Every structure is written in C-alpha cells, then in structure tokens.
Structure 1
Amino acid sequence: MGKDKLFSGESKNIEYKVTIPDKSEKYMKTVVAFANTQGGKLVIGIDDKTHQVVGVDKDSLFPIMDSLANAISDSCEPQIIPDIEPQTVDEKTVIVVTVEAGKNRPYYIKSKGKEKGTYIRVAGTSRLAYPEKISELEMEGARISWDELTCVGYDVTEAATQNLCKDIEDFRKKAGLSEHTVSKEQLFNWKILKNKDDSVLASNAYVLLTSDYFPFSKTQCAVFKGTDRTVFLDKREYTGPIYKQIESAVDFVLRNIRLGATIDGLVRRESYELPLEAIREMIINAHCHRNLLDESCIQVAIYDDRLEVTSPGGLYNGLTYEEVMSGHSKIRNKLIANIFSQMGLVEAWGSGIRRIIGAAREYSLPVPTVEVFDDMFRVILFRNVQDSGNGSDFGVNGGENFGDNFGVNGGENFGDKNNVSKNGQKVTGTQQKILDCIAEDKYISAKKIAEKIGMSGRTVENNIKKMKASEILARHGSPKSGYWEIIE
C-alpha cells in the first residue's frame, strides 16, 4: 500500500496508534476485526486524531515488534500470524502490522471467549459481532453456506419436488437456455436433496424453493407518498418459493411505476419509466446474496423519486465495496445461486451491479447508488422526476393506481377521466373494470378483482364502496359466501 493511502487517514482497513497501549486488548480488537472481515493494517507511531507522524523510538523498535508478534499470537484464537515491518516516513520510523483476511473464522480474543471476543470491522471501527454474524463467520470458516444445511424434520413431498423440477424447466425455456428434463435425481446431484439411511432429506435451499416454511423468507413491497416512509400508499407481502416471490415483486414494481409510449413512425412503442432489466437484477441479487441467518426480510420500496431494494446482511466473506462495484462476487448461498443460474435468472457472476448501472445509463437516469451497512445491503435506482417533454405520454402506469403515487384525483386511476354512464351515475374506468369482473363472476372476491385488474386491494375496496353508495352495486349475503349485484 502506497504512502498516500496508508497515511491519508483511518478507514475500514487502516487504524493508527501513537504507541502500543498498555493493555493489548485495545488493539487486539482491531487485529481480530481485520481477520474476520477484509484484512487491514495497524500502524504504530501515528496520532489517530491529527494524523501526524510521531514515529517509534529506534532503540525500542525491534523489542516492540517482538512484543506485538507475541501478543497477537498468544491472544487470538485461532492463531493469527501478522506481517510486522518497520517503515520510514518523513525521516521517522513507524511499525506497520498487516493482518490478512483469515480463512479459519471466526477469530476472537481468547481471554473473552467467542461470544464476547469476536469483532468485525465496520466503517473504520471495530465492533462486537452480533450472534447471527458469528454464526455466519463459523460457516465461512467451515466453507459451507446456510442453504446447504439439512432442514431437520422437514418432509419432502413428491408433489413439491415435481413442481420444482417443472418450474426449473419452464424458466430455462423462457430464458432461451437449452431444454433438458430436470428430474429428482438432478436435485440430488445439485445437493438440493440428500440421501441418508434410505431417507430423503431436504436442504434449506429445497425448503426455500418449494414453500413458505421459514417465516423470514418473504419479500415486503410498498409504495410511499413522497420521498420518505411517512405515508403508505400500498403494500404487499409475498411468500412461498423465492423465485415466485421475485416474479411477484417485479410485477408489483411494474404496476406502480409509469408506463409510457413513444411514437416511432406509425408504430407506438410502450416502455416503463425504469428499465425492467435493472428492476429484475436488483430483486434477484437481493435474494441470491441475502444473509439467511438474519430473520429480517427483503424489502422493495417505491418512492416518488427512487426504487430501493434492501437485503439483510452486509458484504460477504471480506468482499469490499470497491470489489462489488468492479464486478467481483463471492457467493453467500451456493445452492440457491446454482438453481438461479440453472433457471437463467443469473447470467454472469458479479455482473449485477454493473448491469443495473448500464441499464440506468441507457434510460438516461441518474447513476444508481449502493449503500453497504454491517447488517444490510441496499441498491437505489433513481426515477426521472421531471416530466418528459419528448413526445412520450408517461402518465398512466402499468395497471396500478396513478393517483396513489402522485396524488391525482384522490386515488382514482389517471386514465379514468373518460367516464361511462351507468344507472344515471358516472363510473370511472377503474370502476368499469370492477363491474366487468363482477359481470363475469358475481361470486368473485374483492381480492381476486384486485389481482385480475392489477390494482391495490385498497383501491378496489374504495371504488366498490363508492359504487354501493351510488346504488350502482349491491352486496348480498355474507362476506365469504355472498354475491354481487349490478343494479341496472
């Protein structure tokens, strides 16, 4: 590491000490944290507040280096062997202790034990690792991922297995991949299923791909009014097989962003205001790389000015922000990643962020940003909040309520301005769609209507309430077994 970087200030992988503290624990936290995350350098002889090079007494140089080596070797479990060397800066000598990212994680201070002595590096500080992080570090050290573990007591059914095989085949076909039959035997080869004592056992990946068994395995989607989380306009929660959650979450976003059209000669071309490729990539990556030991769920949030996708867990196994942005990848969930690849959901490892940025550039959108925390990872795709004056007719969104997003008409669909007369009353386009559904099936539920016409349940309920008040629509019987009547 060059002088400019090494002495430009403390960071996630650089820490300064004027002298060696009397108590080794004060710097042992840093050594352990470096080994548990991305590695780093502890520099002795620099003031951590002023960044002034103070230096180390040359007569004490080698005794100090020996003392550091012995203290680190004796105090850390598993053993950490750093590279310790002197370096001359501005005619003064400092000691640089280089700690590599460790492979036998978790590392901890022996005297404090694993639970109270495991530290990780977060934004330039060494912090005590929370229990879920310690568990993940243990699996990193064992070279296994959580989705590979057996889900004890979970019953493998033939129906769920066949559905998964068929869905993988269907996804391959849609992705244009070579078609081949996916059988139960193939799931064994991929370690999705396991054989033990003539019994078929499910991996955690199998459970995630076939059910809603794990309560944390869900995707929460919401639309907010404005640019913060003060007012909900719509929210949905999707469970079940994670690839179906991805499809539902993508559809939710498309229903809640604007769908516009441009005229190319005599041809009308429709496109969403945000690139579909970027939306899919954001949500797929969130599921592929999330920390499954964290009981939080994936969140998809739509604001007036942006789309945010947040997944539990920070960067995995020492991966740095710079590596992520340059296309490097470390796979946190090996079996899930493999199935996503087989389905054609993942095209090339490490390309997700670059593909999102590239898609935004093609749409002339601001550059997407990535936010990394110790317990979460967030990708932000910005919307173009200015009205398009280039011949597009952006305004009516992809089936979801335009007014919910932009405060138009008190929640009515923007395309409802062409009203139709019904029973002497005016009905909007949205209400007409509801009536059409009821005309087809008088027993249909409001929830099914919302799904069928692609609008929020709240929007459908509000419009039904208005039509009942205007005596356009009536409800007979109980909420569950009753039926609708369109009043002519």
Structure 2
Amino acid sequence: MVEDTMFSGESKNIEYKVSLPDKSEKYMKTIVAFANTQGGKLIVGVDDKTHQIVGVENDVLFQLMDGIANAVSDSCVPQIIPDIEPQTVDGKTVIVVSVEAGKNRPYYLKSKGKDNGTYIRVAGTSRQAFPEKIKELEMEGARISWDELTCVGYPVSEEATEKLCQDIEKFRKKAGMSEHSVKKEQLINWKILKQSEGQLLATNAYALLTSDYFSFSKTQCAVFKGTDRAMFLDKREFTGPIYTQIEEAVDFVLRNIRLGATIDGLVRKEKYELPPEAIREMIINAHCHRNLLDESCIQVAVYDDRLEVTSPGGLYNGLTYEEVMNGHSKIRNKGIANIFSQMGLVEAWGSGIKRILNAAEEYGLPKPRFQEFDNMFRVELFRVNPITDQANQATNQANQDLERLDQVEDENVLSEKEIEILNLVRMQPSITQKEMANALDWNLASVKYYITKLKEKNYLKRQGSSQKGKWVILTKRD
C-alpha cells in the first residue's frame, strides 16, 4: 500500500527525479520544503511525467547516495538528516530520500539565506515562502504562540478585564461546567495577561478577547444566490471579542437556513436543516486554529447547496490532512485555545472534525468536505436541496475543486501556469516578476509571457510602477 502511494504520482509529499540534476540546489529546494511543511520523499529514478520506473545504475548507486547526503549537509540550514536508501521496484533500483517534518524551522538554503532560500510545499511543487510564512515558521521553530506575545501599546483596563472574566463564567454556566469565580489572577495563569516589573501587560490574546483592536480579527458572513459568489443576498461583518463573533456568526447561519418541524407523538419539534452543533463547531475551529499572522479574515458563506467556512492558514507545524481526519491536533494559538477550553467552547482536542462528521451523518446529510491549502483551511457542510438536479451538482463539484479564496479561475480559459500566476498574485499583490520566477522556479521570460496572456484575457492588470505598484485580479471581464 505504501509503495502504491509512492509511485502513483507526485503530490505534496512525493517528488520524482529521473536523475539527479547537475546543480544540487534544484533538488535541495525540495528537501528544504519537505522539512518546512509535512515531510516527504524525493525519489530518484522515476520519470516525473510518465511515472515510469527508470532506475539508477548499480555501479553509481552508492556514489549518488553519498552525494545526496553531502549536498544536504552542505546546503541546508539548520541541519537536515534525511533517510537515504535504495529500493527495488519492478526489478529496477531507485533511491528514496525520506525527510521528516522538521522541528527547528525555518529550514533554508545556506547559499540564498533565510529570506530568499526558505521553501514550502504547495500542492506538488516547492515554492519560495513569503515573509509572513517565514515568520510563522520561525515561531513554530521557537515553540512560540503569537497570541501569547505582548500586545505592545494595548492597555489593560479594569472594565475590560472584569467583562472578560464575567463572560468566561457565563459561558461555563451555559456549557454546564462547574462554576467558579474567574479573576485576573486566572488570566495571568492562563497567559492572557503578563506581569512585568509590577505592571500588567496585555497579550495579543487579551486584545482579541476584549476588543476589535486588530483589523483582521473579524468574521465575514454572506448568503449567496445559487452555488457560487456571483450574487449576494445578504452579508454581515462581525467584529469585537472573538467569542461574540462566534455567537453572531452561528446566529447568522441559523437565520439563513430552513427551519422545519417534525411531529413526535403529540409533540411538534422544530429542526434546522443543518445540525446547529456542526455549524458551531465549524466556526469555533476556524477561530481557534486560524493563522493570526495572516491578515485575511474568517469567511462564512451560505449557498443554496452548502455552508462553507474558510479560515486563514493551512495545517500547522507539519500536521497532515490524514492526521487531522484521524483526530490529531496541534495547537497554533495556545492562549485562545486555553480560554475556549475554559469557556466550554472546546470539549476535547482533536474531536471537532469527528463531531462535524457525526452530526452530518445523524442528519442524513452528505459527508462534509475538508479542504487544505497552503494558506487556508475550508470545511463544507452540504445542504439537501431538492431543487438542485444532478447535473448542477456535478458542475458545482468541479467549480469547488478549482476555487481558492475567490473563484476567478476558469478551467476552460486558463492554463495551469496562468492559474499558478494568479495564486501567487492573490497571496502577494506586490510581488515582482523576478520574484514570481524565483517562487515558481521558471525563467523570467516564461513569467512575462503568461502575464501578457492574462492581461490579454482581462484577468490581470498592473496598478502603479513596476517596483512600487501592485497586481489586481479582475473578477469581471468583458
């Protein structure tokens, strides 16, 4: 089974080389990217286009393995120690270089330095990491949680502290938890407040739990007509303490889905078309596990056929999709997670996905879908809509597979390379063409060619100068 996975095609965790490139940097990017993401295997002796097992000649096998080990040792900082071994497949020998998800992040190419030599895996390619991603990797390597850092300049007021303590008590009571008084001493123990030279200092978590201080800390909610984002029916933006955002977002969804009734004996019982506990869990998870270094906000979208919750940031610190689906959890925001636990918003670590799946199954709904990208995580809970026929459902499925934060790609019009350009622009509008070439490992002429094609198709335009301007993705085309 493992062998089938290794040789069934390239992926986020698998890359093929028919032979070793003359310049080790070309495959060292992959080694670094694996260490910075979820680990992976570089397999030498397999054609990356046909997946044909070409093999490595036995008389140079161990020489190549030693060369790989030396190149990794000489090129990568901090030190990466891969497992390098030969393996026989279909009578031919290949070299399998296995790299674990690293704990001393970020890893980078010594020759390029940290700013230009840090790579991550995106789908099946190794891409140069943007500054905000490098910053998160640094915090992962230092075992630091951003929400526990001091929020410089943010005041600690008696009024805000008292309100937070009272709200924690109210949530505990509502959740049926044991009641006890919450004071600022508990907030200090939970690392929401800090003491320094006789003063109380606010953490980023304290600011998130008591105000709308950070502009990115908001929940955008919308109802769309149909199954895409072409037409708004209603939209709201909730700010303030993140636990109030959760309540308001859940209420928004419940107001905008159907409420029916069933008769149990002589008792009439009302029932939403989607399980409220799953809705709540989706929105809580989005806030608890979002990347707070990404200035995007959480999005909650209600379509005719589904509820969709999107949070900034992919999976954290080497956690794999398979591990998440099996109930494993790594805490990105320790302060927020602790307070959510104290409030009864989080019952048991790693159980959120299972509760969503179980709630959908009990309601007789299609299995929810979980999508993980390098810069976001999305959960879709499907509505049962008798109006939607099978043809429409098939079309929607195809559209959803292509969708990123905003659905501007059109499979019938854009090539894969054009979509790669758009994805880079979406993540960093100010990126230069030279930076695109480095990130995609293309030559500059190729980047210019595809940008020209996107401009001709009216998908992309440039605002400002080549050095200080930015790219704009066009969502409406003539």
TM over 0.5: yes
Secondary structure at the residue paired with 1:85?
Answer: strand
User: What CA distance in whole angstroms lies between the structure 1 residues aligned with 2:308 and 2:141?
Assistant: 32
Q: Does structure 1 residue 360 correspond to structure 2 residue 375? A: no
Query: Which AA in structure 2 matches 1:177?
Result: M
Task: Write the mapping of 1:1-400 to structure 2, written as runs, cut at 5 A.
Answer: 2-386=2-386
Please give the secondary structure, in 1, of the residue aligned with 2:262.
strand
CA distance in 2, matches of 1:255, 1:155: 36
Q: Deviations over 1:46-103 (max 9, x none)?
A: 1111111111121111111111111111101111111111122222221111111110
SS at match of 2:208: helix
What whole-Å deviation, never above 9, does each CA across 1:206-231 have from its counterpart, x for those lacking one?
10000000000000111111111111
Kindly state the Cα deviation for residue 199 of structure 1 after the two structures are TM-superposed.
1.2
Q: Find the aligned partners of 1:118 and 1:374 in 2 and give their Cα distance.
A: 15
| Letter of the 2:145 counterpart | S
The one-letter amino acid paired with 1:208 is L
The alpha carbon displacement at 1:5 in A equals 2.0
In the alignment, the residues of structure 2 paired with residue 355 and residue 21 of structure 1 have an alpha-carbon distance, to the nearest angstrom, of 47
Q: Counterparts of 2:136 and 2:127 in 1: how far apart (Å)?
A: 16
Deviation at 1:154, TM superposition (A): 0.9
Name the CA distance, whole Å, in 2 between partners of 1:372 and 1:97: 25
Letter in 2 for 1:17: K
Question: Per-residue displacement from partner, 1:393-443 (whole Å, max 9, x unpaired)?
Answer: xxxxxxxxxxxxxxxxxxxxxxxxxxxxxxxxxxxxxxxxxxxxxxxxxxx
Which structure has the larger Rg over C-alpha atoms? 1
Question: How far, CA to CA, are the matches of 1:2 and 1:222 in structure 2?
Answer: 42
State the SS of the aligned residue for 2:23: coil
**1:251-282 Cα deviation digits (max 9, x unpaired):** 11111111111122221111111100000000
Q: CA deviation at 1:3?
A: 2.2
Counterpart secondary structure, 2:240: coil
Letter in 2 for 1:238: F
Q: Structure 1: which amino acid aligns with 2:309?
A: V
Per-residue deviation at 1:386? 2.0
Q: Counterpart of 2:465?
A: none
TM-score, structure 1 as length reference: 0.78
Q: Which runs of 5+ in 1 are unaligned?
A: 388-488
2-structure distance, mates of 1:98, 1:116: 24
Give distance in 2, aligned partners of 1:54 and 1:302.
49
C-alpha separation between the residues in 1 aligned to 2:245 and 2:197? 34
SS of the residue corresponding to residue 41 of structure 1 reads strand
**What amino acid maps onto 2:239 in structure 1?**
T
The 3-state SS of whatever aligns with 1:63 is: helix
* Number of positions where the alignment pairs a residue of Structure 1 with one of Structure 2: 387
- Counterpart Cα distance in 1 of 2:179 and 2:12: 46
**1:251 is paired with a residue of what secondary structure?**
helix
CA RMSD of aligned residues (A): 1.1
Output the CA distance in 2 between the equivalents of 1:305 and 1:369. Answer: 13
| 1:385 aligned counterpart, secondary structure | coil
Quote how far apart the aligned CAs of 1:108 are. Answer: 0.7
Q: Aligned partners of 1:289 and 1:76: how far apart in 2?
A: 30
- Using the TM superposition, give the Cα deviation of residue 11 of structure 1 relative to its aligned residue in structure 2, in angstroms: 1.5
Q: Unmatched 5+ residue regions in structure 2?
A: 388-478
**3-state SS, counterpart of residue 286 of structure 2:** helix
Following superposition, the deviation at residue 2 of structure 1 comes to 3.2
1 CA distance for matches of 2:92 and 2:303? 54
- Distance in 2 between residues matched to 1:36 and 1:27, nearest whole Å: 15
Secondary structure, counterpart of 1:220 in structure 2: strand
1:417-432 to structure 2, matched below 5 A, reads none
**One-letter code of the match for 1:173?**
K
Runs (4 or more) in structure 1 with deviation over 2 Å come to none
Q: 1:139 is matched by which residue type in structure 2? A: M
3-state DSSP of counterpart to 2:277: helix
Partner deviation per Cα, 1:341-362 (whole Å, 9 max, x = no partner) = 0000011111111111111111
CA distance in structure 1 between the partners assigned to 2:380 and 2:103 by the alignment: 32
Letter in 1 for 2:205: A
Alpha-carbon offset, residue 321 of structure 1: 1.1
